[in-house]
Amino acid sequence: DQQVKQNSPSLSVQEGRISILNCDYTNSMFDYFLWYKKYPAEGPTFLISISSIKDKNEDGRFTVFLNKSAKHLSLHIVPSQPGDSAVYFCAATGTASKLTFGTGTRLQVTL
């Protein structure tokens, strides 16, 4: 039972354009959402998070949008850079604090 889903296993975007990564969840008890970036042979690196009381959080080139009614969140990266090429995991948590991860989206930013 995949409670957090990332339906696009891969995404290719040109440098300078916007990358949009999507994530859906089913558990209405989740109230905090995070995006992690992962390079091969490294652990996930925290990027940005959002609480369920907000609908947008911005940090530099990264913006996360949350639509609670649709149980959907998205990560926007603009402008995309070649160094952004990695696997991006969406994660969700509730009061238990353990993270439930999505299956990941591999982003490739091309020149």
Partner 1 sequence: AAGVIQSPRHLIKEKRETATLKCYPIPRHDTVYWYQQGPGQDPQFLISFYEKMQSDKGSIPDRFSAQQFSDYHSELNMSSLELGDSALYFCASSLGLNGATQQYFGPGTRLTVT
CA distance 29 to 45: 24
Strand order in the sheet with 62-67: 4-5, 19-25, 72-77, 62-67, 56-59
CA distance 43 to 20: 22
Which two three-digit tokens encode residue 76? 């926007």
Asked if 97 is part of the footprint of partner 1 (rule: CB under 8 A), the reply reads yes
Asked if 108 is part of the footprint of partner 1 (rule: CB under 8 A), the reply reads no
Task: Name the residue type at position 54.
Answer: K
Task: Name the residue type at position 64.
Answer: V
**Residue nearer to partner 1 on the CB measure, 4 or 77:** 4
Asked if 70 is part of the footprint of partner 1 (rule: CB under 8 A), the reply reads no
Asked if 25 is part of the footprint of partner 1 (rule: CB under 8 A), the reply reads no
Contact 62, 75 (CB under 8 A): yes
Candidate segments 12-20, 26-34, 58-66, 68-76, binder of partner 1 by CB under 8 A: 26-34
Q: How far is the CB of 79 from partner 1 (least distance, A)?
A: 25
Q: How far is the CB of 32 from partner 1 (least distance, A)?
A: 5
Which two three-digit tokens encode residue 91? 């994660």
**Residue nearer to partner 1 on the CB measure, 17 or 54:** 54
- Report the interface residues with partner 1, using CB under 8 A: 4, 31-32, 34, 36, 41-46, 49, 51, 89, 93-104
